[in-house]
Amino acid sequence: MPEPVAPPGRWTRFALPASAPRVRLICLPCAGGGATAYRSWVRELAGAGVDVWPVQLPGRENRFEEDLPGSMEDLVEVLLDELGPALRAAPYALFGHSMGASIALALAFGARARGLPAPVRLFPSAGRPPNRPDPDPPAHSLPKAAFAERLRAYDAGSLLLREPELLDMFLPKLRGDFALFENYRPPDEEPLDCPFTVLGGLDDASVPAALLPAWADYTRGAFEVRLVAGGHLFLDSARDAVVRLVRARLVPEAAG
C-alpha cells in the first residue's frame, strides 16, 4: 500500500496529504503562474483517489521575493530532492502548463537519471515542444516593449500591460521564467517509456496545434494529442474539460 507522505512545505501549496492515493499528480505552473492555478483541482480529484500536489516555484505568490534557479537542470535537482520521497511512495503523474510542460519533461528525465520510478503519465499542456523552438528571438532577451508584446501573444499579462509599475515589478521574474524554458534542451538519450497525453488550445496562436505531435519524440509509450476550446490560457477557460480528461486518464473507472 502506498505510504503517507507529507507535501514539502515550501515547494508545494494547497496539497492535502493522502494516506493511500491511487496516484499522485504533481502540477507545474506556467511562466509567472503559481500553485493557485491548481488549487481547485485538489479537492475535486481527491474523490477519485488522485492526490494533487501543486508545485510552488520561487518568484511567485507567497515566494515572490525568492529567485528561481538559473537553469532547468538546477531546478530539477532541487525539485527531485524535495519530491523524491513522494515519487517513491506512490504512482505519480506529471502535469505542466506552458513553461510547466518543459519542467515536467525535465523532471521525468531527471527521475530516470536518479533511478526513481517513472511517471505513470506525462501531461504537457500548452507547451511548445523543446525540439520545436520558437523561430523568433528568445523572449527573455527582448527589450521591455518587445517583451510586453510577446506576453500579449501568450494571452498573458493584460493587467501588467495596463499598469507600467506592475510590469516593472514582475519583469525580472518573468524574464527568468522565460529563460528557464527557452534555454532548456532535453538530454540526448533514449526517449521515456511513460505515456503522454498532450493538451492544446484550439485557438492558441503561441503554441499552434500543429506543433504538438512533436512531443512524441520524447516517449516510446502511448501518445495522444487532445485539443480543447480556448487560447494559450485554456487551463482557466476550459478548466472543467481539462480536469475531466486528467481524471479519465489517471483513474478511468472514476471518469463517469
Asked whether residue 116 carries a pLDDT value surpassing 60, the answer given is yes
Q: Is the pLDDT of residue 133 over 90?
A: no
Q: Is residue 237 part of a domain?
A: yes
pLDDT of residue 173: 87
At residue 36, does pLDDT exceed 50? yes
Confidence of residue 2 (pLDDT cuts 50, 70, 90): very low
Domain-located, residue 196 = yes
Query: Cell triple for residue 94?
Result: 506529471
**pLDDT at residue 129 above 90?**
yes
CB 30 within 8 A of CB 98: yes
In a domain, 164, yes or no: no
Q: Which residues are known to be catalytic?
A: 98
**100 touches 79 (CB < 8 A):** no
In a 10 Å sphere around its CB, with 0-12 CB exposed, 13-18 middle and 19+ buried, how is residue 239 labelled?
A: middle
Determine, yes or no, domain membership for 242.
Answer: yes
User: Which band of pLDDT confidence, cut at 50, 70 and 90, is reported for residue 197?
Assistant: very high
The CATH number of the domain holding residue 217 is: 3.40.50.1820
Inform me whether the pLDDT recorded for 6 exceeds 90.
no
Domain of residue 243, residue span: 23-129+185-254
Does 51 map to a domain?
yes
Which residues, other chains included, contact 63 with Cβ-Cβ below 8 Å and sequence gap of 6+? 10, 34, 56, 57
Average pLDDT in the 24-51 region? 93
Domain count, the chain: 1
Min mean pLDDT across 27-36, 71-80, 137-146, 226-235 is at 137-146
